[in-house]
Structure 1
Amino acid sequence: MSNRFINSVSDETLVSNLLLSVRVNDLKIGWQSKPIDDLIMIKGVRGYSWLYWSDGTKQMMAYTIKHYASQLPIENFIRVHQNCVINRNYVQKTQLTHRGPLLRLATGAEIVISRRRWSMVKKELQHLQPGA
């Protein structure tokens, strides 16, 4: 077996371990798969996760935020707080306010960034103009 084959298998395994869609349970429709591109953010609350979608809906799942965060592609998602993961595509701007560092999302929501993660988040989102 060549190294080229082994590398392609490991790359394929890595890609298959990342979420491309999330299975969620809607009370009216039942189980369905939703693409992660439509996922705005995940908030963790006491062992459960709230998934917020671009169509304005939110769903509670019985998995921790750590479960999802470890499987999401890092080029699209960033963990800004112990209990919050954000889709970078929905971030409009970063702000440093008297209340602390914030992210403003395309939905109008303001998300608090932890002080410990602020420098990392600021570096990752440097293409956005703070305060603009």
Structure 2
Amino acid sequence: MRTIFYSTPSQFSLPTSTLNLYVRTAGKLAFPVTDLVYLQATGNYSWLYWQDGQRMLMPHCLKYYMNQLPSEWFIRLHRNCIVNLNYIERTECDPIDCNGVVYLHSGLKLAVSRRQWFAVKRLLVWHKKRAPRAAFLSI
């Protein structure tokens, strides 16, 4: 089993873009993408998980958000999950059947689809090169 460790989220500089969402109680609000940890699909709805532990259920599929999020900071792990690269602590892959897993700094474990595994690894290596202050350790 190969494990790759990444740095803490505070060591990265993220783009200052925002995600415009309509909240029923407050209307249209702009949320910084720096605080968005990951998104998970549930049918035609999406759960958005934030750094402070909050989560929001929004009436859009993940494809809607993929077009709004910066592609250099977010990657689709599976058909039902998009994750912010800055919150990935480490990755693991079983060499026999190549079932990939991504561990977040919060301790959460997210599955990576077999077809996406190499794209995820490639983007994480590229991300590491763009953020030279990141601690990168391969065991």
Partner SS state of residue 55, structure 1: coil
In the alignment, is the contact (CA less than 8 A) between 2:78 and 2:111 conserved in 1? yes
For residue 33 of structure 1, report the CA deviation from its aligned partner.
2.5
For residue 111 of structure 1, report the CA deviation from its aligned partner.
0.4
Counterpart AA for 2:122:
K
Match of 1:74 in 2: 71
Match of 1:20 in 2: 18
Give me the TM-score of the superposition, normalised by structure 2.
Answer: 0.71
Higher helix share: 1
RMSD, aligned CA: 2.1
Counterpart AA for 1:23:
L
Match of 2:93 in 1: 96
Q: Distance in 2 between matches of 1:50 and 1:57?
A: 10
For residue 70 of structure 1, report the CA deviation from its aligned partner.
1.6
Residue by residue over 1:67-125, the C-alpha shift from the partner in whole angstroms, topping out at 9 and shown as x without a partner, is: 00122111110111111100011001111147921000011100000001011111111
In the alignment, is the contact (CA less than 8 A) between 2:98 and 2:114 conserved in 1? no
Q: Which runs of 5+ in 1 are unaligned?
A: 1-18
Count of residue pairs the alignment pairs up: 111
Give me the TM-score of the superposition, normalised by structure 1.
Answer: 0.75
Match of 1:58 in 2: 55
1:34 to 31, 36, 43: 31
